[in-house]
A and B are shown apart, each in its own frame.
Chain A
Amino acid sequence: MKLSRAQKRKLTSILLSGALLIAAAVLDAVLHPVWWAALLLYIPAFLLAGHETLLSAGKNILRGQVFDENFLMSVASVCALVLGEHAEAVGVLLFGALGELFESYAVGSARRSVQALAKLCPDTVHLLRTDGSTEDVAAENAKADALFLVYAGERIPLDGVIVEGAAALDCAALTGESLPVEVEAGAEVSAGTINLNGLLKIRALRPAKESSAARILAMVEDASAKKAKSEAFITKFARYYTPIVVGAAVLLAVVPSLIFGNYTDWIYRALNFLVISCPCALVISVPLTFFGTIGGSARRGILFKDAAAIETLSKASAAAFDKTGTLTEGRLSLAEICPVGCTREELLSYAAAAEYGSTHPIAKAISENATVDSDVIAHSVELRGRGRTCTFNSHEIAAGCRRLFDEQGIHIPHAEENTTVVYVAADGQYRGYLTFSDQIKPDSAEAIAALHRADVSTVMLSGDNRNGAERVASSLGISRYRWGLLPEDKVSELSKLSAETEGKLIFVGDGINDAPSLAAADIGVAMGGIGSDAAIEASDVVLPGDNPLKVAEAVRISRKAMRIARQNIIFALGVKGLFLLLSAFGLTNMWMSVFADVGVSVIAILNAMRTLR
């Protein structure tokens, strides 16, 4: 528990005052006929617990700020003192101060948990000089294109591209994914990730203030500026609540006394009103719920753009997914190896030899699965749009599409039409084929199932052909899908879907090509889009990682937040309403009222702080 100096001071005076109050109560009971003896202890306890409240009430009156909480508390306790209810007078101030202390502690810890995100990026960069030595400079002074080193165990200070070295990266702080990611030369890395085990030489892509981590922090900080509807409601409510309760208190003190007499009893009942007139429990617990949700989910790799986004997402009943790069990896990988008259390994090495040195996505997919000795490859030729040929270990290799084989007079005995395929021949003999597909992400099926369990139906919108879309949709359990869509078709599909959907419609896309769709849906979820301004601008939720499971998690988090906010509103309003009623009929005492006030605050705050976990 971290307390500031002011908070420690407050705690000390609360504890001292509490001790004095107990001593006074004991003395009061023992020496009851000598009433002034106990007062000698009650008065210091009263001042100790209430000096801050009484002082600021006095100051505020001088500044013309009459009806604030300090004033109401002061009036209630001073009147109670005058009425001879000494212990209750101290109690009101004591528990009021305790509630305030708890409130400021809760606010502080919520703020700290969000500010912890700011410590994502180290302050210094090990800049590499041309002579090979390094120099430590402040991160904000490093420019784009600067070369720097990151040692094992350190956080990467700037977004960049690896020039030399390989390592496993812990990206949990940015993406919420706990599995390390393997990176090597050529890979883009984000500031804030931890280099677990290698020495990396990196070329900076952008200055520190534009890095992914800086964007995440800025997004989280700005997120609380736009208020959710329930937040705005509660602020507005508080504006009327206090004056109305105070007005009612005045009426309660005056009118029945004039009719029935017995004015001390009615004044006492009215004082109970003043004690529960502070709207703080309400006003703090709802925004704290949203703030806690924004901060807590940022650490899990889910960034809400504002509190309103949480509210809208909680009402989602349908989700439209982009296919490529969202549900699939967005790159080709080797699917099938079908050799004819040779081994799988031979077929693969023929294909790898033919594609050696090519930058085509297919060549990349093959080289992930096979390595060839470049010394035995010669005469590599690229035949545009048809394939490649070379000599490999003195075999004449050809690899490519059907047209290449027709030209060379090599017969292919079967037809593979629906997928991306490369046929391979060695020395004029057909040796089989390889197929490639865009791999479905390992978590996509579970992501869709989790949404279905949360009563969110799913649709897939794909720019791909019918076969590609059907394959992905059916293996993921998505029953509705559209194919062959251009970006503008997706927007019109979304508006059609939106009209059919009873609740809110989510669109999940990669944020780069799908900005119009992200903006068109009720809730745009940009995946892996923290690097792009357009994505942040157009979306309501950003997932810095690329795991589709986070969509269902975001829905779950938003619903939990709304549940907590609603609980707090109903609980606080209910208890306060009940106690107003009970005090009007003289069924409460001030102890109960102050517990109703402070207790509701503490419980509502504790409830709201569940979102931080």
Chain B
Amino acid sequence: MIITKTYRFTDIDCPNCAAKAEAKIQKIRGVQAASIAFFAQKVTITADEADFATIYPEAVAAVKKIEPDCELVEVK
């Protein structure tokens, strides 16, 4: 089933970095759509529910590459 999950991120403090992180997350295999709302500090990822197990660690790695202190916490 295709679902959308929302994560809150910390410590990305330049919108251009956020845009780069967004581009990286969009390229992760299985991600159908991804968007970073820089001001709301939220990442939304749309993908098949089963793929999130592999997508999440890759997304974390992608943001950490841009900002090492960045954390991704799911918003329920």
CA distance in complex: A223, B39 (Å):
10
Q: How far is the CA of A226 from the CA of B46 in the complex (A)?
A: 13
With a CB–CB cut-off of 8 A, which chain B residues contact A69? 14, 16
Cβ < 8 Å to A, chain B residues 18-52: 19-20, 22-23, 35, 37-42, 44
Q: Say yes or no: A291-B39 contact (C-beta < 8 A), given A59-B68, A63-B65, A225-B44.
A: yes
Chain A min CB distance to B22 (Å): 8
Contacts of B37 in A (CB 8 A): 222, 224-225
Contact of A104 with B by CB under 8 A:
yes
B73 touches A (CB below 8 Å): no
B45 to chain A, nearest CB (A): 11
A480-512 CB contact bits vs B (8 Å, 1 = yes)?
Answer: 000000000000000000000000000000000
- In Å, the complex CA distance between A225 and B5 comes to 12
Query: In the docked arrangement, what's the CA distance between A222 and B35, Å?
Result: 11
CA A227 to CA B37, docked complex, whole Å:
8
Could you mark each residue 55-92 of chain A with 1 if its beta carbon is under 8 Å from any beta carbon of chain B, else 0? 00001000111001100000000000000000000000
Closest to B42 in A: A225
A524 adjacent to chain B (CB < 8 Å): no
| Cα–Cα distance between A281 and B19 once the two chains are bound (Å) | 13
Residues of chain A contacted by B65 (CB below 8 angstroms): 63-65
B39 touches A107 (CB 8 A): yes
- Those of A247-291 within 8 Å (CB) of chain B: 278-280, 283-284, 287-288, 291
Give the distance in Å from the alpha carbon of A65 to the alpha carbon of B20 in the complex.
Answer: 11
Interface residues on A, range: 20 to 34
Of residues 98 through 134 on chain A, the ones whose CB sits less than 8 Å from some CB of chain B are 100, 103-104, 107, 110-111, 114
A396 an interface residue at 8 Å Cβ cutoff?
no
Report A437 CB to chain B, min CB distance, Å.
45
Q: Tell me the bound Cα distance from A2 to B39 in angstroms.
A: 18
CB of A283 within 8 A of CB of B19, answer: yes
Interface residue? B13 (CB, 8 A): yes
Contacts A59-B68, A65-B65, A239-B23 given; indicate if A283 touches B15 (C-beta within 8 A): yes
Q: How far is the CA of A440 from the CA of B74 in the complex (A)?
A: 47
Query: How distant is A13 from chain B, measured CB to nearest CB, in Å?
Result: 17
A221 an interface residue at 8 Å Cβ cutoff? yes
Complex Cα gap A65–B22 (Å): 15
Chain B positions within 8 Å of A68 at CB level: 17
Q: Is B3 among interface residues, defined by CB-CB distance under 8 A?
A: no
State the main secondary structure of chain B at its contact with A. mixed
**Chain B stretch 44-64: residues in CB contact (< 8 A) with chain A:** 44
Known: A65-B65, A222-B40. A103 touches B35 (CB 8 A): no
Q: Are A280 and B39 in contact (CB under 8 A)?
A: no
Docked-complex contact A110 and B39, CB < 8 angstroms? yes
B16 touches A238 (CB 8 A): yes
What's the Cα separation between A223 and B37 when bound, in Å? 9
Contact B39 A103 (CB under 8 A): no
A300 to B25, CA, bound (A): 35
Instruction: Give bound CA distance, A411 to B40, whole Å.
Output: 70
CA distance A227 to B44 in the complex (A): 12
Distance to closest chain A CB from B74 (angstroms): 15
Q: Which of A65, A104, A225 contacts B35 (CB 8 A)?
A: A225
Cβ 8 A contact of B40, one of A64, A225, A288: A225
Q: Are B39 and A235 in contact (CB under 8 A)?
A: no
A93 to chain B, nearest CB (A): 16
Is B14 within 8 A of A280, CB to CB? yes
CB distance from A597 to the nearest CB of B (A): 13
* Given known A65-B66, A225-B35, contact A284–B40 (CB-CB < 8 A): no
28 contacts between A and B (CB under 8 A): A63-B65, A63-B68, A65-B66, A69-B14, A104-B13, A107-B13, A110-B39, A114-B39, A114-B40, A221-B40, A222-B37, A222-B40, A224-B39, A225-B35, A227-B35, A235-B19, A238-B16, A239-B20, A239-B23, A279-B16, A280-B14, A280-B15, A283-B15, A283-B16, A284-B15, A284-B16, A287-B15, A288-B15
Known: A107-B38, A280-B14. 18 other contacts (CB 8 A): A59-B68, A100-B14, A107-B39, A114-B39, A114-B40, A223-B40, A224-B37, A224-B38, A224-B39, A225-B37, A225-B42, A227-B35, A235-B22, A239-B23, A283-B14, A283-B16, A284-B14, A291-B40
Closest A-B pairs by Cβ, 3 of them = A291-B39, A224-B37, A283-B16
